[in-house]
Amino acid sequence: MNDSTDSAIVTALLAVRERAYAPYSHHPVGALVVSESGTRYAGANVEVAHYKGICAEASAIAAMASAGERQLREVWVIGPGRHLCTPCGDCRQRIREFATPETRIRVVDAEGRLLKEYDMEALLPDSFGPENLSP
């Protein structure tokens, strides 16, 4: 584990990744989001036979939103290997919906070592968000 990762977060990420349902891709992913209140919400990818499952990040964000929270402080993602398992395009937009300029997105390797950290501008440059819908 890298010094800049929290052992409780890594433990939660490893546990939720183990609960992923990935019978088709065999690529289990876990995510954990920290809301503005400091509450942690975990999610795993859930695949279905028609290949339109839900990503781990979407699962964690849905848990946060379902609890009534609307702002992300941190997003953590863990994949099954030693390489970056960054959020897909859809999840980058989902993160953007609830992010602030201070939100940090961190990707760790399969053991929980920090590989890369992003802010929202680095993750999704020139993004489109709720404020773009205002007149």
Q: Do the domain assignments include residue 98?
A: yes
Q: Which residues are annotated as a binding site for Zn(2+)?
A: 55, 88, 91
Query: In this structure, what token pair is assigned to residue 65?
Result: 């939103």
Residue 117 lies in a domain: yes
State residue 4's pLDDT score: 64
- Look up residue 131 and give its two tokens: 């404020």
Distance in angstroms (rounded) separating the CA atoms of residues 102 and 66: 22
57 in catalytic set: yes
Whether 131 is covered by a domain: the verdict is no
Total domains in the fold of the chain: 1
Residue tagged active-site, from 36, 57, 111, 121: 57
**CATH code of residue 51:** 3.40.140.10
* pLDDT(24) > 70: yes
Tell me whether residue 111 is in a domain. Answer: yes
Task: Kindly indicate the confidence band of residue 134, based on its pLDDT and cuts at 50, 70 and 90.
Answer: confident
Q: Supply 15's token pair.
A: 């546990």
Identify whether 61 is part of a domain: no
Residues 6+ apart with CB under 8 A from 90: 55, 58
Within a domain: residue 133? no
Q: What is the span of the domain harbouring residue 17? A: 7-56+67-123
What confidence category does residue 60 fall into, taking pLDDT thresholds of 50, 70 and 90? very high
Residue 134 lies in a domain: no
Residue 47 within any structural domain of the chain: yes
DSSP secondary structure string for all residues of the chain: --TTS-HHHHHHHHHHHHT-B-TTT----EEEEEETTS-EEEEE-B--TTS--B-HHHHHHHHHHHTT---EEEEEEE-SSSS-----HHHHHHHHHH--TT-EEEEE-TTS-EEEEEEHHHHSTT---GGGG--
pTM: 0.94
- Annotated binding residues for substrate, written as ranges, equal 45-51
Tell me: pLDDT of 77 over 50: yes
